[in-house]
Amino acid sequence: MQWFRVSRASMANAVQDFAATYTVRTWAFGWLGRIVAQVVFYTLVGRLIGAADQERYLLVGASVMAIVTEVMLTCASSTWERRAGTLPLLVAAPTSLLPVFAGRSVQWLVSSVATSSVSLFAIGPLFGVTWTVSRAVAAAVVLVVCAVGTYCMALALAALVLSVMELRNLVGNLATALTTAVCGAVVPVGFWPRWVQAVAVALPVTHGLRAVRALVAGPAYLAALRDSALALAVAAVWLAVADGLFRWLSERGRRDGSIEFADN
């Protein structure tokens, strides 16, 4: 109950941050426009290859990757909390850091599911990715799963980045690029060597994306459910890792005095 209360307060910060950055107009013409251009860009790579099925494959992959692109901004937005000088107070407070940071970047969850949905359900049909209402609803639910799963992973990275804040954008972008490469967004996971495939299994979006692709192909609700459950199971592991890393951050900070009010 306490965790929920703390998270809710932190979510209020996230909403205010988002409102201070974007208006509806700048979000729609700026951010959404950028994501649509990103998805079209990858789809056009499929056109360059000269195969319509590649176009559709890349469109679906890029649409789901829009979630990863945005959710990985959690690495940066988590450091905003430390920059604001609140970390010592948070460490001193009688609660874990996890609910604070789990609420602090939820704006990306909502926004990313919206941009990804526009890409899949509005841009998709222009390139031959068609939907029935029931498949689209199921796919939208899977997108939420992808976002939540990636968010758990991003929280673990954010816990690491809080110690080296100058790397916040680099870590987020590198994680996005690596995920794009191996999770099945651009080529099937089987294309890669076995050790890379093992890494891909540890990414929640790998399973979520497979579920979306199953729904693109037909009414494979059971397969989508199974893959979504797998994505959530992997996400739970990441959340546990994030919790451990936040505890480590706080305990190490208490021990060596590296939790400070100043910017670093």
Partner 1 sequence: MIENLRTALAGARFELRVLPRSPGDLMALVTAPVTTIVFLAITQHAGRHDLATYAVLGPALMALWSMALMVCGEMIDAERAGGTFEALVATPARPLPLLAGRIVVVVTVSLLSFAESWLVAALVFSIVVPVPHPGLFVAALLATVLAMAGWASIMASVFVLARSARIFQNSLSFPFYVLGGVMLPVSQLPDWLRPVTRLVFLSWSSDLLRDSLNSVGVRYAVPRIGLVLGFAVVGLLIGRVLLNAVLNRSRTAGTLAYA
User: Which residues in this chain contact partner 1 in the complex, by CB under 8 A?
Assistant: 21-22, 26, 29-31, 33-34, 37-38, 40-41, 44-51, 54, 58, 166-170, 173-174, 177-178, 180-181, 186-188, 191-192
Q: Which is nearer to partner 1, 3 or 27 (CB)?
A: 27
Query: What single-letter amino acid sits at 52?
Result: A
Of the pair 133, 195, the CB lying nearest partner 1 is at 195
Q: Which residues contact 61 (CB under 8 A, 6 or more apart)?
A: 42, 180, 184, 185, 186, 209
Rounded-to-10 torsion of CA 87, 4, 144, 108: -30
Nearer of residues 122 and 177 to partner 1, judged by Cβ: 177
Q: What is the 3-state secondary structure (H, E, C) of 76-89?
A: HHHHHHHHCCCHHH
The CA-CA-CA angle for residues 37, 39, 44, to 5°, reads 90
Tokens of 15: 């909403």
Residue 51 region by backbone torsions, left for phi larger than 0, else alpha for psi between -120 and 50, else beta: beta
Nearer to partner 1, 27 or 221 (CB): 27
**What's the min distance (Å) between Cβ of 50 and partner 1?**
7
Kindly tell me which of 96 and 169 has the beta carbon lying closer to partner 1: 169
Cβ 232 to partner 1 shortest distance, Å: 26
Task: Tell the smallest beta-carbon distance from residue 34 to partner 1 (Å).
Answer: 4
Q: How far apart are the first and last CA of the chain?
A: 33
Q: How far is the CB of 32 from partner 1 (least distance, A)?
A: 9
| Rounded Cα–Cα distance for residues 252 and 259 (Å) | 9
Query: At its nearest, how many Å lie between partner 1 and the CB of residue 250?
Result: 25
Q: How far is the CB of 20 from partner 1 (least distance, A)?
A: 11
Measured from the CB atom, is 54 or 96 closer to partner 1?
54
Q: Are 124 and 60 in contact (CB under 8 A)?
A: yes
